C-alpha cells in the first residue's frame, strides 16, 4: 500500500480566532498516494474564470457588485457566477405542504407508521419571505478548527433551543421533526391526492436543506443574542476532518447524541461504504469519491443537482452524484446499529435529532457552493437550472421569530445573498484524479468470458456481477454509462459501485481509473415501498485514463455494498453525450 504524505503544518492561532477565517492561508496540501510529488494547488482566485455577474448584493455600504462581495467581504474563495433573474409564473412547480393536512409519518426501515408526531404547529398566517439585507457575512467554520469559545457558544445555543416549550416551532425536537415530516411521507403534494411530497432524490435536495439550515442557524443566533453566529461544517472531504468532530463526542455537551455508532466515534469515515478499515486506503478512497462525484462523473447540471421533480412527479426521479454519494455514506456511517432502524442519523425520520446532522449538511451545502462557483467549468459549462418549475418550487419554515414563512428555490441559489459563507480550507480532492491505467486491462487483452449485458437484464443485484456492454462509438468518445429503471426497496439502505474494465476485483480500493461511480440511498418512504430511478455516469475522463483504444465494448462490474436483495436494474447501455450548451 503506497503511503499518503501529509505535511505536518497546522493552522495558525490567528486563523482559528479570526472573525473572517476565509482570509487564512490553507493549512496543508495532500500528496496523492500514487502520484509522487504531484502537489495540489488551491487558488484564492481559481473561480475568476467564471462569468462575471452584473448583479448586486445589499450590504451596509449600499449596493455593490457581487464580485466585490465574493473577492472582498466573501474572502475570495469562490469566483463570480451568473445570478438568475426572477422568472415568470411556472406551470407546475412543487408547492409547499398544507400543514393542517399533515399526516402520520412512516418508519423507513420497516414501512410501519411511526408512533411519534412529526407535524408542526398549524397557523393560518403565512408570509412570503424576503431575504434581509446583508450587513456582515457570517462565516461557517470547519468543525475541526473551532475554538473552545465557539464550542461553548454553540452548546449554549443548542441547550437554549432544547429548553424552549415543546409546542414552540423553534424547539429542538420541533426542528428535528421538519426532516421527518418532509422526508417520511407525512406530507402529500397539494392537489395531487395521496402522492407523497419528498425532498430527496431530485433537484430539490440542495435548496430544501439550504433553507432548513438557514432558519435553524438564525434561530440559534437569536437565542444567544449573536447575529454573527454560524453553524459549523463537518469537513469530511479533507483528511483532517475525516472523523467525527471531537466536540460532538463530549458526553456532557448539549450537542452530544448517544445514538451513534460507538465503533466509529474516532474512526476515519468510509465514504465508499466498502468496509475497509485501513485508514490510509480509506483516505485515498474518500478523496477519489469526492473527485468523482464533484468533477469526473457529471455530464450536466442534473447529474450533480438531481433530476427534475415537478408537481405530480413520483417521489424518486433521481438523486444527484453528491446526494447519493458522500451525503448518504455519512448518514449510514454515523447511524447507531444498536437501534432498530439505525437511529438517529441513519434514518431520515430521526436524523434531525442529532446535532451532528446539521454540521454534516452544512458541508453538503458547502459542496453545492463549491460546485457552483469554484470548480472548473469546462466539465459542466452551464451549472444553472433555469427551468421555472425548479426556480419557483417552494417550502414553508418557521423563522427565528416563530413566524411561518414561504420560501422559494430561486432565493436560495446564492449563499452570499443569504448572508453566509464558509471558512476557506484545503480541497485536496480537487486534483485527485485516479492514476492512469496505461496498460490495457488483461480482461480486454486476452478476451473475456463475461456474458453480454442483454443476456442478464433485468438484473437482481445481490452479488458482484461482471458483463460486457457495447460502446456507442469506437475510440475515446464522450460517452455516458446509463443504468436504467433501478427499482429499489425504499425501506433499506442500498448501495452499489460501478467499475469499468477492472481486472483486480479489489472491492476495498476505489482510487483507480476503473472506478466509475456509485448509487446509494438512505431509507426513504414511498406509498408502495418501492421506487424506480436511473443514473448516468460520465465516461469521458475514465476513457482518457485507460487504454480504451478502438474497443467495441467495455466490461462493467457492479459491486453491491449492501446485504441481500433490494435492487433490480432494468437495463444498462452506453450512449453518446450530446455537447453541453455554454453559459450565457
Question: Do 347 and 109 touch, CB atoms closer than 8 A?
Answer: yes
The answer to whether 487 and 568 are in contact (CB under 8 A) is: yes
CA distance 372 to 305: 10
Q: What is the 3-state secondary structure (H, E, C) of 445-482?
A: HCCCCCCEHHHCCCEECCCCEEEEEECCCCCCCCEEEE
Q: Alpha-carbon distance 372 to 364, whole Å?
A: 13
**CA 299 centroid distance within chain:** 17
Residue in 331, 360, 524, 562 annotated catalytic: 331
200 is in an annotated binding site: yes
The residues, any chain, with a CB within 8 Å of residue 495's CB and separated by 6 or more, are 273, 328, 518, 519, 520, 521, 560, 561, 562
Let me know: does 372 contact 416? Beta carbons within 8 Å.
Answer: no
Q: Contact at 8 Å (CB) between 531 and 454?
A: no
Residue of 32, 144, 360, 361 with catalytic role: 361
331 catalytic per annotation: yes
DSSP letters of 268-317?
A: PP-TT------HHHHHHHHHHHHHIIIIIT-SSHHHHH-----TT--S-S
- The reply to whether 562 belongs to the active site is no
Count other C-beta atoms under 10 Å from residue 455's C-beta: 8
Beta-sheet pairing, 494-500 with 459-460: unpaired
Catalytic residue among 304, 348, 357, 395: 348
Percent helix, strand, coil in the chain, to 5, is 25, 15, 55
Q: Is 348 a catalytic site residue?
A: yes
527: burial class by Cβ within 10 Å (0-12, 13-18, 19+)?
middle
Q: Any catalytic annotation for residue 327?
A: yes
Specify the DSSP element, H or E, that contains 333: helix 328-334
Q: Where are the alpha helices (DSSP H) in 167-256?
A: 172-183, 205-223
Q: Can you name the residues that pair with 495 across neighbouring β-strands?
A: 520
Query: Of 32, 209, 360, 562, which one is the catalytic site residue?
Result: 209
Which of these is catalytic: 32, 144, 179, 360?
179
Residues with Cβ within 8 Å of residue 541, at least 6 apart in sequence: 296, 433
- 32 among annotated binding-site residues: no
Question: What burial letters (b/e) apply to 75-88, b meaning 16+ CB within 10 Å?
Answer: bbbbbbbbbeeeee
Which residue out of 327, 360, 524, 562 is catalytically annotated?
327
Q: Is 28 annotated as a binding residue?
A: no
Q: Is 361 part of any known ligand binding site?
A: yes
Specify whether 361 is catalytic. yes
Q: Which three cell numbers stand for residue 297?
A: 462523473
CA-derived radius of gyration, the chain: 23
**Binding region for Cu cation:** 179, 200, 209, 327, 331, 361
Residues annotated as catalytic (active site), given as ranges: 179, 200, 209, 327, 331, 348, 361
**Binding region:** 179, 200, 209, 327, 331, 361
Amino acid at each position: 500500500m503506497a503511503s499518503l504524505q501529509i505535511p505536518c503544518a497546522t493552522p495558525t492561532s490567528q486563523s482559528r480566532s479570526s472573525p473572517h477565517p476565509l482570509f487564512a492561508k490553507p493549512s496543508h496540501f495532500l500528496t496523492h498516494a500514487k502520484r509522487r510529488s504531484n502537489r495540489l494547488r488551491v487558488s484564492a482566485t481559481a473561480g475568476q474564470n467564471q462569468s462575471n455577474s452584473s448583479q448586486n448584493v445589499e450590504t451596509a455600504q449600499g449596493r455593490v457588485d457581487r464580485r466585490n462581495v465574493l473577492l472582498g467581504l466573501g474572502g475570495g474563495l469562490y469566483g463570480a457566477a451568473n445570478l438568475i433573474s426572477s422568472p415568470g409564473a411556472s406551470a407546475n412547480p412543487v408547492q409547499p405542504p398544507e400543514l393542517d393536512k399533515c399526516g402520520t409519518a412512516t418508519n423507513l426501515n420497516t414501512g410501519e407508521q411511526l408512533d411519534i408526531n412529526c407535524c408542526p404547529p398549524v397557523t393560518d398566517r403565512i408570509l412570503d419571505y424576503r431575504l434581509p439585507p446583508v450587513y456582515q457575512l457570517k462565516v461557517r467554520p470547519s468543525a475541526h478548527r473551532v475554538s473552545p469559545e465557539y464550542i461553548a457558544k454553540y452548546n449554549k445555543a443548542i441547550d437554549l433551543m432544547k429548553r424552549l416549550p415543546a409546542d414552540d416551532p423553534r424547539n429542538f425536537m420541533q426542528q428535528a421533526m421538519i426532516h421527518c415530516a418532509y422526508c417520511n411521507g407525512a406530507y402529500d403534494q397539494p392537489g395531487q391526492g395521496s402522492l407523497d411530497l419528498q425532498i430527496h432524490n431530485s433537484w430539490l435536495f440542495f435548496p430544501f436543506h439550504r433553507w432548513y439550515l438557514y432558519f435553524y442557524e438564525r434561530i440559534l443566533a437569536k437565542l444567544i443574542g449573536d447575529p454573527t453566529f454560524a453553524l459549523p461544517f463537518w469537513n469530511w472531504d479533507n483528511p483532517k476532518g475525516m472523523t467525527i468532530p471531537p466536540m460532538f463526542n463530549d458526553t456532557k455537551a448539549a450537542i452530544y447524541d448517544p445514538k451513534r455508532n460507538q465503533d466509529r466515534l474516532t474512526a476515519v469515515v468510509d465514504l465508499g461504504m466498502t468496509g475497509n478499515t485501513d485508514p490510509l486506503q480509506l483516505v485515498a478512497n474518500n478523496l477519489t469519491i469526492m473527485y468523482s462525484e464533484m468533477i469526473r462523473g457529471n455530464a450536466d447540471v442534473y447529474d450533480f443537482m438531481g433530476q427534475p421533480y415537478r408537481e405530480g412527479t413520483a417521489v424518486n426521479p433521481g438523486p444527484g452524484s453528491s446526494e447519493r454519494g458522500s451525503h448518504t455514506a455519512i448518514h449510514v456511517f454515523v447511524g447507531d446499529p444498536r437501534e432498530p432502524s439505525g437511529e438517529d442519523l441513519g434514518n431520515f425520520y430521526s436524523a434531525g435529532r442529532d446535532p451532528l446532522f446539521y454540521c454534516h449538511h452544512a458541508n453538503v451545502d458547502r459542496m453545492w457552493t463549491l460546485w457552483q462557483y469554484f470548480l472548473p467549468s469546462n466539465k459542466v459549462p452551464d451549472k444553472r437550472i433555469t427551468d421555472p418549475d425548479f426556480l419557483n418550487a417552494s417550502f414553508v419554515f418557521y423563522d427565528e421569530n416563530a413566524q411561518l414563512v414561504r420560501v422559494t428555490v430561486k432565493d436560495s441559489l446564492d449563499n452570499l445573498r443569504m448572508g453566509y459563507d464558509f471558512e476557506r480550507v484545503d480541497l485536496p480532492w480537487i486534483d485527485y484524479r485516479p492514476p492512469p491505467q496505461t496498460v490495457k486491462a488483461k480482461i480486454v487483452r486476452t478476451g473475456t468470458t463475461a456474458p453480454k449485458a442483454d443476456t442478464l437484464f433485468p438484473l437482481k443485484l445481490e452479488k458482484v456481477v461482471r458483463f460486457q456492454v457495447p460502446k456507442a462509438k469506437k475510440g475515446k468518445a464522450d460517452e455516458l454509462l446509463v443504468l436504467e429503471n433501478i427499482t429499489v426497496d425504499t425501506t433499506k439502505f442500498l448501495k452499489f459501485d460501478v467499475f469499468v474494465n477492472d481486472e483486480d476485483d479489489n472491492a476495498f480500493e476505489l482510487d483507480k481509473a476503473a472506478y466509475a461511480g456509485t448509487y446509494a440511498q438512505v431509507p426513504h418512504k414511498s406509498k408502495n415501498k418501492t421506487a424506480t430511478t436511473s443514473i448516468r455516469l460520465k465516461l469521458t475522463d475514465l476513457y482518457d485514463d485507460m487504454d480504451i483504444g478502438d474497443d467495441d465494448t467495455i466490461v462493467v462490474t457492479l459491486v453491491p455494498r449492501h446485504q441481500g436483495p433490494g435492487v433490480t436494474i432494468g437495463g444498462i447501455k452506453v450512449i453518446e453525450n450530446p455537447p453541453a450548451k455554454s453559459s450565457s
